[in-house]
Chain A
Amino acid sequence: NAGVTQTPKFRILKIGQSMTLQCTQDMNHNYMYWYRQDPGMGLKLIYYSVGAGITDKGEVPNGYNVSRSTTEDFPLRLELAAPSQTSVYFCASSYTRTGNNEQYFGPGTRLTVT
């Protein structure tokens, strides 16, 4: 199993540009999450999904959009990038919300908006 994979690893965007961060998991997990991690801070939940076709907002959803057309993929879309979106983005997945809700994280995407 590759686990959770994310692409790209690094990206530099100009203000106003758009991009999609890709996330794929091969563990057949129903639940998937997007977080951002700012320097010296904990992770903040952007969006999450409980299954294909179902998504919901987390703590900091403004400026982002997601979709979940398959169990495996959960892309994060940035429209009109702003410097405040400079961060490291982590995708995660988990099997179930009850019991041991261990979240498996991808390696992250470091995004800089200038």
Chain B
Amino acid sequence: GENVEQHPSTLSVQEGDSAVIKCTYSDSASNYFPWYKQELGKGPQLIIDIRSNVGEKKDQRIAVTLNKTAKHFSLHITETQPEDSAVYFCAAIDTGGFKTIFGAGTRLFVKA
């Protein structure tokens, strides 16, 4: 079946450093790629997304890049802060818009 691979599973950085999380998807029909942040005991929350007709999108310290040919997309967090510590999930959604395939998640630790 369709899947989304996410790496790394765990990432530890010093406060102020950058963090990069990478995902690869298999379904060529995927055209919407959201990133979610999940804090302990809470549901995931959308932090940024990108559509297939765009190569890069930025929102303050967070950016996402998409390479549709290679079926890769990445999350970049600059100037990390302790409150960025959480689990981050990438996802891919097909053109039908219903079936979201999530990556396995990356646990990010930002050390003060």
CB within 8 Å of B: which residues of A? 4, 31, 33, 40-45, 48, 50, 56, 58-59, 90, 92, 96-98, 100-103, 105-108
Contacts and interface: CB of A to CB of B under 8 A. Distances in A.
Contacts of A101: 32, 34, 93, 97
Contacts, number: 62
B4 A48 contact: no
Interface residues of B, number: 27
Interface of B: 1, 4, 6, 9, 32, 34, 36, 41-46, 49, 89, 91, 93, 96-105
Contact of A42 (B1, B32, B98, B103): B103
B98 A43 contact: no
Contacts of A107: 41-43
